[in-house]
Homo-oligomer: A and B are copies of this chain.
C-alpha cells in the first residue's frame, strides 16, 4: 500500500481539462492525436471522468484499431455507456478489430438481440460464438485462441517460421508442442529457439511441465497454478478429450487474480458487486440492500431475544432493545463503504481528485439504504415493541441518521488515512467498525431519547 503518486501521472486534472477543451471546441483531429499517444488503458481510465455523451464523442474520435484497444480496457459502466450510445457502424468497425476472445468478452455483456446484431457482420463469428459458451470466470472464458502449436518432430527452423507467420497479436512467449491427438505435451519458451541450432527437433528443447487446465476450471485456480509454477501462459484443454482449446496468458491471469481478490473482499463485505465504484448510485444501493436487510433481520431477532430472556424494560428503556440492530447496521454499512474505498485506493482506481464525488455517492447510497431500513425499523418498532407513533418515529429517524454516519465514517477514514500516508486497510478495519459502534449507539439513543421526549 503506497501513498506516492498514482501509476498514471499524465492523467491529472490539467490534462483532463485540456481534453475537455478540445472536445468542446470540436477539434477532433487534435483530440485523436492526443489520445493516440496514450496507452489504451489510460484512455479507458480517462473516459471515467466524462459524461456519457462526452465518452461517446471521445470514443468516436479514435481510429478503429485504437478504439478497439480502448474498448477492451474500459470498466463495465463505461463500456455499457459506449455500446448503447455509439453509432452502430462505429461499433461494428471496432468489434471487427478485436481478437476473437476480446470480441467475445465485449459481446457477452450485450443484451441477446444486440449481441446477435453485433455478431452478424463479424468474420470470426463462429469462433466468437463458441467462446461465448464459456462462463467469463472460467478458463474457457479467459483463454485466447491465438497461439502456436507444433508437432514434437518439428525443427527449430520450422518453429521459427510458424511463429513468424502468425498474426501480430498471437502469444509467442511459449509455443506449444502437441501429440497426434492435439493434447499439449510440452511448452517451448521462445528464447530456446534463439539459442538452438536450426535442425534441433522441438521435442528435444521443450519443457514438459505444461500444467494444462480444463475449460471449466475457475479462474482463481488458474491463477494459483500460474503463480505456483511461474508460468507465462497456461494451456486450456477440453475436460473430456484433453485436446488443447486455447491458452491463457499471464497478463490476463494478473487481471483475473486482481478481480478475484477484489470479488472476495467485496463479497465478504456484502457490497454485492465486483466493480462497485463504476455503478450508478441506485444500482449500488440495490446491490448492497440484500446484505443490509439480512443484518437488519438478524438484528431485530437479537432484540427479540433480549425480551425472550426476560429483559423487558418499559417506556424509554425500550429503546435499548434496538441497540443490537443499530450496532449491526452501522457495522455492516460502514464495512461496505470502507471495503470499496480500500480496494479502490489499492488499485489506483480511486484517484485523489475524485474524492469529493466519491464521498457524495457513498452518502447518497447510504441515504437510500437508510430510508429503506429506517422505514422498516419504524414499522417493526410500531408493531412489536410499543404500538406508539412517537417510539416508531424515534427508531426510524435515528436508524436513518446512524446509517448515514456509518457510511460517511467508512468513506472518510480510509481516504484520510491514505492522504496522510497510513495504510487505509490497517486503519479502517476494526477501528472504523468499533468507532461506528459507539457513534451508532450515541446517535441512536441520544436522538431517540430526544424524539421520545418530544412526542411525550
* Residues of A bordering B, CB below 8 Å: 1-2, 4, 7-8, 39, 41-42, 160, 163-164, 172-173, 190-191, 193-195, 209, 217-218, 220-221, 223-232, 250-251, 253-255, 257-258, 260-265, 267-270, 291-292, 294-295, 297-299, 301-302, 305-306, 309-311, 313, 316-317, 319-320, 323-324, 327-328, 331-332, 335, 338-339, 342-343, 346-348, 423, 425-426, 428-431, 433-435, 437-438, 441-442, 445-446, 449
Contact = CB atoms under 8 A, between A and B. Distances in A.
B295 A323 contact: no
A191 B172 contact: yes
A230 to B, nearest CB: 4
A41 B226 CA distance: 11
Interface of A, secondary structure class, is helix
Given A194-B164, A217-B4, A331 B291 contact: no
A338 B268 contact: yes
Given A313-B320, A317-B317, 8 more contacts: A230-B251, A232-B250, A260-B346, A268-B342, A291-B431, A311-B316, A324-B327, A324-B441
B430 A270 contact: yes
A324 B431 CA distance: 15
B209 A39 contact: yes
A353 B231 CA distance: 27
B324 A437 contact: yes
B221 A295 contact: no
Most chain B beta carbons < 10 A, residue from A323, A423, A449: A323
A264 B1 contact: yes
A441 B190 contact: no
B232 A425 contact: no
A323 B338 contact: no
A8 B310 CA distance: 54
Contact of A258 (B164, B257, B324): B257
B39 A426 contact: no
B430 A332 contact: yes
Contacts of A231: 251
A429 B227 CA distance: 27
A279 to B, nearest CB: 18
Most buried by B among A255, A257, A438: A438
B220 A346 contact: yes
A261 B266 CA distance: 12
Contacts of A264: 1, 265, 342-343, 346, 425
B191 A270 contact: no
29 contacts: A1-B260, A2-B220, A7-B228, A8-B228, A163-B194, A173-B232, A190-B194, A227-B251, A227-B254, A231-B251, A250-B251, A263-B425, A267-B426, A291-B430, A294-B434, A298-B437, A298-B438, A299-B434, A302-B441, A305-B442, A306-B323, A309-B449, A310-B449, A324-B327, A324-B437, A327-B327, A328-B437, A332-B433, A335-B433
A4 B445 CA distance: 49
A261 B263 contact: no
